[in-house]
Amino acid sequence: MKKIVFLGPHFDDCVLSCGELIDKFTEQGDDVCVITFFTGCPDEKDLSAAAKQFHSNCFLDHKSMDFRSNEDIAALNWLNCKYKHLGYYECLYRKNNKGAILYPNLKEIYHLKNEDNELTKDISKRIEIEVADADIIFAPMGLGSHADHTILHRAAVMASKIIKKPIYFYEDVPYVCYYYKSRKKSNWGQDMEFNLIKVSEKNWHIKLNAIKFYRSQLHILWKNEIQRLQQLEDLTYKYAPEHTVRVWLFRGAKNVFEQ
């Protein structure tokens, strides 16, 4: 039995990107834990206009994070894995050292602010602690440039130089779906090699059902169920005629999934 840890920025990210892997590993008896970083719920008086707008878009109130936490717990219980919510504030809730909102509008969340460099270092140290007894770690690739995804990706890269354990980087869903659709060129994957991990039809359908627990987010991420299923199906068959998940590993790192 291996201890496998998935690191996620927000409540839905690990299930969206790796739900079929989580099910594969729990099915074979591994000890799987999903650790989500940006889960803190600020006081209503501290919410910016952008945060309130996002809550409204999700049809939620100022207790949005409590509701989303329950969605996540339900999804991860469905996948029979452990979970941990670490309570960092996501970018729409963060303030700088002068008390000003760091990301005052929704467009800015896709551009990491320099003020978050210290937070990245802090999270890197936290990763070292959280994965101390893990055998395999999965972390986000940071596709889409969302500030929180970028922070966790950079923090995991920093931590990988200390912990000396395999860290696989998963492709962030739904952002990776847009990359494929637009054939957008990018420099992600430099100095890395990809690995295709096979999953079963059953693992795949378990993931699709797990995603449905995040009902506050579904209409934010996709126009409708047809679009969601089509994008996810395109992704799962992108590189092979069977269900696979593509993950990335730095060149020279030990690949425990290598045949």
| Residue at 4: amino acid letter | I
* pLDDT higher than threshold 80 for residue 180: no
Q: What local confidence, expressed as pLDDT, does residue 249 receive?
A: 93
Residue partners of 43: CB distance under 8 A and separation at least 6: none
Residue 59 banded pLDDT, cuts 50, 70, 90: confident
For residues 128-155, give the mean pLDDT: 96
Buried b (16+ CB within 10 A) or exposed e, 114-133: eebeebbeebbebbeebbee
Q: What local confidence, expressed as pLDDT, does residue 46 receive?
A: 85
d(CA 240, CA 28): 22
Regarding predicted confidence, which is higher, 46 or 14?
Answer: 14
d(CA 210, CA 23): 10
* CB-facing half-sphere around the CA of 83: CA atoms within 13 A: 26
Residue 61 banded pLDDT, cuts 50, 70, 90: confident
Identify the three-state secondary structure at position 48. coil
Q: What local confidence, expressed as pLDDT, does residue 181 receive?
A: 52
d(CA 113, CA 111): 6
Regarding predicted confidence, which is higher, 157 or 182?
Answer: 157
Q: CB of 37 within 8 A of CB of 152?
A: yes
DSSP state of 241: S
Helix (H) or strand (E) holding 119: helix 117-130
* CB-facing half-sphere around the CA of 106: CA atoms within 13 A: 10
Angle at 119 between CA 115 and CA 120, to 5 degrees: 105
Residue 259 banded pLDDT, cuts 50, 70, 90: low
Range among 15-19, 56-60, 233-237, 250-254 with highest mean pLDDT value: 15-19
Residue (of 156, 129, 161, 128) closest to 142 by Cα position: 156
Beta-strand relationship, 82-85 and 31-36: parallel
CB count in 10 Å sphere of residue 175: 21
d(CA 45, CA 88): 18
198-217 pLDDT, tens digit each: 999 999 999 999 999 999 99
CB count in 10 Å sphere of residue 9: 27
Q: Which range among 7-21, 56-70, 122-136 shows the weakest confidence by mean pLDDT? A: 56-70
d(CA 253, CA 259): 15
Beta-strand relationship, 167-170 and 244-250: antiparallel
d(CA 195, CA 240): 12
86-116 pLDDT, tens digit each: 999 999 999 999 989 999 999 999 999 999 9
DSSP state of 142: -
DSSP state of 189: T
Regarding predicted confidence, which is higher, 187 or 74?
Answer: 74
* pLDDT higher than threshold 90 for residue 186: no
Q: Which domains does the chain have, with CATH numbers?
A: 3-250 (3.40.50.10320)
